[in-house]
Amino acid sequence: MTMMTTIVAVALGLTPIGHDGTVKPISNDQARQIGRFTETTDDTGTTHLVGINRDTGEQFHLTVNPYGRVEGSVGNWAVTFQVSNAA
């Protein structure tokens, strides 16, 4: 799975974040739950992820800046977290 698919899975609550901040790779079943989403990158290097939560039918819009800061909304919920590469 791609990093962006994992970010969407975390934002939608499909995969938990451990106490130490690690995320287990998502399964193919979880990826299918996410469904399709669009991924675009603007001239500042910020990635925009837009799609529909298959479980609730609510739209999500997430932005991932070049430093790994994720912000956005999933339906009425605001989400914010930091992404970093595993050591």
pLDDT digits (tens, 9 = 90+) for 42-52: 999 999 999 99
Residue 86 has pLDDT above 70, yes or no: no
Beta strands in 21-84 (DSSP E): 37-41, 47-52, 59-64, 69-74, 77-82
State how far the Cα of 38 lies from the Cα of 36, in Å rounded to an integer. Answer: 7
What count of other Cβ atoms lies within 10 Å of the Cβ of residue 75?
A: 12
User: Which one, of 76, 59, 80, lies nearest residue 7 by Cα?
Assistant: 80
Work out the percent of the chain whose per-residue pLDDT is above 70: 97
pLDDT digits (tens, 9 = 90+) for 24-63: 778 888 788 887 899 999 999 999 999 998 888 899 999 9
pLDDT band at 1 (very low <50, low <70, confident <90, very high): low
Which tokens hold the place of 13? 């609550």
What is the model's pTM? Answer: 0.86
